[in-house]
């Protein structure tokens, strides 16, 4: 097997397992064994092992010496931490180029706003893909490869936040265009600090509301 084929297979397996975890196909506590997964995906154990390492790094699975790998329970605090990091990375990017987006970036964002209107309700993967594509324009414009790599490593956070959105999950597709349109106008203003505040609010206000709702439920 060529190195290219191996990496492609590993990435495909990682994505498939990640999707099962985040959409409930694999429940918290479910054991993940290399042998069973290799049989399921029709692969050797090597790409399975690499996929499990990646998912452990992302915080979606956990390893115990006496138990092996199992699906980790995803909490609202996980989503909060990931979004806090993403927001700060994007604010750093905006300050790096002083929010001076060229016309082609703004046009790409407007195109994505139109695509968001076409996403079927409940299609979480399509919602997340559009979200990541929109926000990646911000980070990529900074021209800082390590910053972009850090941000890319947190892309799965949108799935976690979507899954943890509970009763708000069903209307995510409808709300996605609205909230990103508000963010777009802030980014297009070329006002760096206003754009940074808009990015922070875009990420953190919904998560803060969910945290409070969860605390209220737990207190009953």
What domains can be seen in the chain, in order of their start residue?
3-71 (1.10.10.10), 76-219 (1.20.120.530)
The model's confidence at residue 203, banded by pLDDT at 50, 70 and 90, is very high
Per-residue pLDDT, 99: 98
| Share above pLDDT 90 across residues of the chain, in percent, rounded to a whole number | 55
DSSP character string of 93-143? HHHHTTT---HHHHHHHHHHHHHHTTSPTT-HHHHHHHHHHHHHHHHHHT-
Output b/e per residue, 20-56; b: 16+ Cβ within 10 A. Answer: ebbeeebeeeeebebeebbeebebeeebbebbbebbe
- Coil, strand or helix: which one is 68? strand
pLDDT at 72 over 80: yes
């Amino acid at each position: 097997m060529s190195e290219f084929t191996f990496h492609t297979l590993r990435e495909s397996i990682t994505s498939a397992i990640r999707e099962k975890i985040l959409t409930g196909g694999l429940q918290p506590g479910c054991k993940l064994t290399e042998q069973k997964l290799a049989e399921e995906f029709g692969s050797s154990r090597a790409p399975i092992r690499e996929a499990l390492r990646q998912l452990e790094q992302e915080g979606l699975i956990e390893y115990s010496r006496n138990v092996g790998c199992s699906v980790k329970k995803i909490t609202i605090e996980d989503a909060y931490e990931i979004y806090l990091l993403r927001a700060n990375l994007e604010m750093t990017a905006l300050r790096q180029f002083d929010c001076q987006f060229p016309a082609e970036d703004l046009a790409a964002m407007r195109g994505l706003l139109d695509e968001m209107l076409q996403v079927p309700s409940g299609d979480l993967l399509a919602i997340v893909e559009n979200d990541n594509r929109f926000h990646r324009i911000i980070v990529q414009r900074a021209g800082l490869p390590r910053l972009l790599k850090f941000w890319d490593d947190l892309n799965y956070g949108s799935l976690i936040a979507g899954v943890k959105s509970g009763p708000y999950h069903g209307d995510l597709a409808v709300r996605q265009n609205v909230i990103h349109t508000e963010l777009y106008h802030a980014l297009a203003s070329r006002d760096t600090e206003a754009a940074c505040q808009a990015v922070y609010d875009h990420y953190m206000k919904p998560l803060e509301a969910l945290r409070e709702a969860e605390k209220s439920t737990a207190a009953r």
